[in-house]
Structure 1
């Protein structure tokens, strides 16, 4: 019994001890659970606090950049680009009588009237007085070392930019005594240089001023004779105004003895954007270097130096010198500050026709139009594009000429070879007086062709971009882009060959269907949205198909014969 009692006591104590242990473990579990819940609630509180802080950051917090819904950063433009002098776009509505423009010499007013000019275009009325004012002290800097500001002009093709610099330059040089190179006009092509030279010759006739054209169309030795003359006392200049292409000009700067730009007052860069893009920047650097170099003064052993302009000091203001003023002109002048920085312009002024116009709506509210425009087209220009495939392009051109009776058409291709093939094809087809214009032809033939086209003897002139820039071709009714241009500035200059000087004209672009989206995007990005789609039905082309196929056979035969003749000629030259 005692053993039983002791066993029962042990069992109860064990049971009691086990219950205590179980109760203890449950207590520990409960404590751990409470601690975990506390940690979880603490984490939740911290997370909520962080979220609230992120949603409502304190005033001193930095703003996180990069969200797509944020507005894009606007580019910063220098003040002269951001706030230009605006020039009226509409020519015919804003003609200004030549007598109302202040400061023009009576002699030049008379010449203008003799040449049938009674009114100035808006760009001429703004720019001519600005250049005359900058040269109010003649060749020299003004009192106190005043240096004239450089001038940039961006205006549509055919708006009269050439006369804008010809008139003031001729006027400033009217009273010159000694013949020196005072004005230099640099242009990208020979044809454009010839055109500008012709205008200068009209307004310098009878003044004693001498204009010299150097483009490589004459021998280098002949051009040297036109530029300088050697005398016992040294060299003397034979030119007051030089109109030049870049390559030929740099050759004379480095290779012609006595050729000096030390007295250069005006440097005019026409088609300035192309001069920058075509890497002629080195030419402009050489001009500036030649203008400020040290040279031996004629007739003495003294060195004469024209110092580059610097800060105005008491000493510099006592000795006024000739400043070098740059005048830039283009229909598609870049507004890229980095590119313009290369030209080292001094406090430039910009005259531009590229701006938005306010239009009053029916409810009296005003809205701005053309806010995205980067370029301005002639106001009388109508634009159309024709979707097509490659095989129908020649038929479309023939359809315009023969069925639609287009006349005085300037047609652009993208290469000399394409121009020549298209010319041969239209010639083989017949019924159209056609000619080609490209650098593969000699200068005399190009001049003759252009003259006949202006006289109306040629209905269709097929050209490369040799005529796209700046060339003033009178009486162009239609421009056809046979090959769609790849760049917007090419398009601007091509279509600008018509609707010049306030007249009307039409531009057609033949666009392959695979090019259509890109072509329209290019125009839209430039702010040109008033181009109409003008599809031509296949039935309209059917009457031309048979003659077209016959013309293709003739063309194939002509090309083969041409290749054979070329091979024979090459063989003769090589072997004999």
Structure 2
């Protein structure tokens, strides 16, 4: 039986091979006829066509050998006819096309392919007509244009410099380690300071000048006589912007030129205006000015709102009975806050800024970020003279008008006569603007609001630090310089463990004479109460650690008293808000603890700058909650400062003794107090607001 099946399959394959041979033979003859009829005009296209047809024929011969019927019925019928004697193959009928696979998995010729083969045999394709000269040319397709591509983004260095003044890019870099000894006698052309001023500095214990002072004093007190003049209407002086670390001597850098130049004055006018963000800084700068200007006869005034408005008016203005074009002043130097300054500009008669020689803006980045009734625009407008107005009719003119000390740039504003000087030229104000900050802004919009006149920039930066990162200067990329002797640490802990970490620093790391910064005044007061209860419960000796709160909620007199006790080291820890994070100079501060981590790099710079000042050493500690660690590290990394902050790991073993005392005594002893005390010192009230 098996032999019969094999013999039948052999007969079937032979029959199919004969049919395929006849088909290929007819196709070859048809191709030769078409080739002889068509002209040989496009040899290349014809060769491609022949190649394609030959490839198709070869493919068909390979794919369709052997052939089988698509359906089982037709296949069995063919086998039956072959067994009966091998009938002659009938012509193929036209049927629809379909693909089918045999049980063995081979591709078989479908009915559709058989129909195409029959059509090709019965009706050959017509031969292509020859192309004549009148026949239209074939339409050519349009060339393919390349897709548009986006240009490469400009580098960071170019983007960072867009809109900036070229003077900021070309700032003078000063090495913070440079020092200049003070010569007590003789001339000193290096700084331009007089012998009297140098002797006064030595009496105060200042024997050398710091980096920012050595760079700024020669620029402001040069050999030119015009630099020392009170009025410079024809020789416009350059404005100055200084970016230097905290504790580098910026206050003394502008106090010394003010005292040197204003000491030559004869008539008292308001010639130096110092604007500061807080009252505490105003008092600190006043103490420095009074110490340096002792015996010079200069009159120094303050305007902070601490006293009544009428009292300040009587201290600042000499005559308020009549309006004087030149103003009337009792002080040569005014130290003030911006809000109170605007009050006097708008409400004090004869309070004038036309004689101003120096306009000092200390902590400039903070003052420029806060509007204060648009104080800067009003101050700059008060230093400028209004356009000249000539009366239409002037029947009488006084030959000898009453002079009330008008500044040269304001002479044309005299109300009675059209007064001219010998040199009838335009005169500009003599005001020279000086900006100081540890985090000086590089915002083009804020710098443009200052209306700086040919500014000169000084940047105090270490030579070991990178002057540029990705081609961007550090002052533009907001990478600020820290004091060289400062050691920085961070402790990452869970939020409920932050009070315990503070106790650990105080008792195990001997943190004394420290400023502890919190995020708000309320948090500072609560932390003080918690610390006092802990000390009362754990202190066995008679010398407990004294802690006080310092914030804006306290009256001015109480704040001054607390600050004096802290300077006298009667208070060991001063827990405060960011009120004194800027500018306050306390020499014995050896530690700064950020109980609440700062959210801005500028705030971090000013906080840690309260220690390691004037070349002294200091430590800065930051308590970072676990959910804040990623953001805090990213902030330091963006400022290029993460490498300098060392992480300190404190295990449970290190705080075991404090932890037991903290949990057993503080938390359990508080409910034992009287009911009215319990409501005010409940643990949830004491601890949770400190870190939530």
Runs of 4+ aligned residues of structure 1 deviating over 4 Å after TM superposition are: 19-24, 28-31, 70-73, 231-235, 299-309, 314-322, 368-373, 552-565
User: Is contact 1:151–1:349 with CA below 8 Å preserved after alignment?
Assistant: yes
- The residue aligned with 2:609 is 496
* d(CA) in 2 for partners of 1:317, 1:520: 62
- The residue aligned with 2:658 is 544
* d(CA) in 2 for partners of 1:152, 1:284: 16
Cα displacement (A) at 1:132: 1.9
The Cα offsets for residues 421-446 of structure 1, whole Å up to 9 and x where unpaired, read as 00111111113211111011111221
> Aligned ranges for residues 174-193 of structure 1 at < 5 Å?
174-193=263-282
Distance 1:301 1:140, change over 3 A: closer
- Does residue 83 (structure 1) correspond to residue 206 (structure 2)? The answer is no
* d(CA) in 2 for partners of 1:221, 1:553: 55
DSSP 3-state at the match of 1:152: strand
Cα displacement (A) at 1:304: 5.5
DSSP 3-state at the match of 2:159: coil
* d(CA) in 1 for partners of 2:501, 2:257: 46
- Does residue 219 (structure 1) correspond to residue 304 (structure 2)? The answer is no
DSSP 3-state at the match of 1:200: helix
* d(CA) in 1 for partners of 2:257, 2:120: 115
User: Is contact 1:412–1:464 with CA below 8 Å preserved after alignment?
Assistant: yes
* d(CA) in 2 for partners of 1:194, 1:559: 43
- Does residue 517 (structure 1) correspond to residue 630 (structure 2)? The answer is yes
Distance 1:280 1:154, change over 3 A: farther
The Cα offsets for residues 3-31 of structure 1, whole Å up to 9 and x where unpaired, read as xxxxxxxxxxxxxxxx9996663436999
- Does residue 141 (structure 1) correspond to residue 232 (structure 2)? The answer is yes
- The residue aligned with 1:413 is 518
Give 5+ residue unaligned stretches, structure 2.
Answer: 1-118, 132-137, 389-400, 412-420, 467-471, 536-543, 682-692
Cα displacement (A) at 1:547: 3.2
User: Is contact 1:293–1:306 with CA below 8 Å preserved after alignment?
Assistant: no
Q: What is the aligned counterpart of 2:649 among 530, 535, 551?
A: 535
TM-score (norm 2): 0.67
Cα displacement (A) at 1:273: 0.3
Distance 1:219 1:390, change over 3 A: same
- Which structure features the higher share of strand residues? 1
Cα displacement (A) at 1:325: 1.0
Distance 1:308 1:494, change over 3 A: farther
Cα displacement (A) at 1:202: 1.0
* d(CA) in 2 for partners of 1:248, 1:532: 43
RMSD: 3.6
- The residue aligned with 2:262 is 173
* d(CA) in 2 for partners of 1:370, 1:339: 18
Distance 1:137 1:474, change over 3 A: closer
Q: What is the aligned counterpart of 1:27 among 118, 127, 150?
A: 127
User: Is contact 1:188–1:274 with CA below 8 Å preserved after alignment?
Assistant: yes
TM-score (norm 1): 0.80
Give 5+ residue unaligned stretches, structure 1.
Answer: 1-18, 32-37, 55-62, 360-367, 566-576
> Aligned ranges for residues 144-543 of structure 1 at < 5 Å?
145-230=234-319, 236-280=328-372, 282-292=374-384, 300=402, 307=409, 318=425, 322-354=429-461, 357=464, 374-430=479-535, 431-529=544-642, 530-543=644-657
| Greater relative contact order, per chain length (Cα 8 Å cut-off, separation 6+) | 1
- Does residue 97 (structure 1) correspond to residue 184 (structure 2)? The answer is no
> Aligned ranges for residues 100-111 of structure 1 at < 5 Å?
101-111=190-200
Distance 1:373 1:528, change over 3 A: farther
* d(CA) in 2 for partners of 1:302, 1:228: 14
Larger CA Rg, structure 1 vs 2: 2
Cα displacement (A) at 1:136: 2.0
Q: What is the aligned counterpart of 2:159 among 74, 81, 86?
A: 74
DSSP 3-state at the match of 1:289: helix
DSSP 3-state at the match of 2:220: helix
User: Is contact 2:176–2:462 with CA below 8 Å preserved after alignment?
Assistant: no
Cα displacement (A) at 1:528: 0.7
Q: What is the aligned counterpart of 1:114 among 197, 203, 206?
A: 203
User: Is contact 2:169–2:473 with CA below 8 Å preserved after alignment?
Assistant: no
The number of residues matched between the two structures is 506
Cα displacement (A) at 1:527: 1.4
Cα displacement (A) at 1:403: 2.1
The Cα offsets for residues 104-151 of structure 1, whole Å up to 9 and x where unpaired, read as 111111111111111100100111121223852501227xx2200100
The Cα offsets for residues 464-489 of structure 1, whole Å up to 9 and x where unpaired, read as 00110011012111111100001110
DSSP 3-state at the match of 1:379: coil
Cα displacement (A) at 1:308: 8.6
User: Is contact 1:105–1:171 with CA below 8 Å preserved after alignment?
Assistant: yes
DSSP 3-state at the match of 1:158: coil
* Higher alpha-carbon deviation: 349-358 or 198-207: 349-358
* d(CA) in 1 for partners of 2:130, 2:509: 99
DSSP 3-state at the match of 1:230: coil
Distance 1:554 1:250, change over 3 A: farther
* d(CA) in 1 for partners of 2:423, 2:242: 30
Distance 1:390 1:265, change over 3 A: same
User: Is contact 1:293–1:305 with CA below 8 Å preserved after alignment?
Assistant: no
DSSP 3-state at the match of 1:243: strand
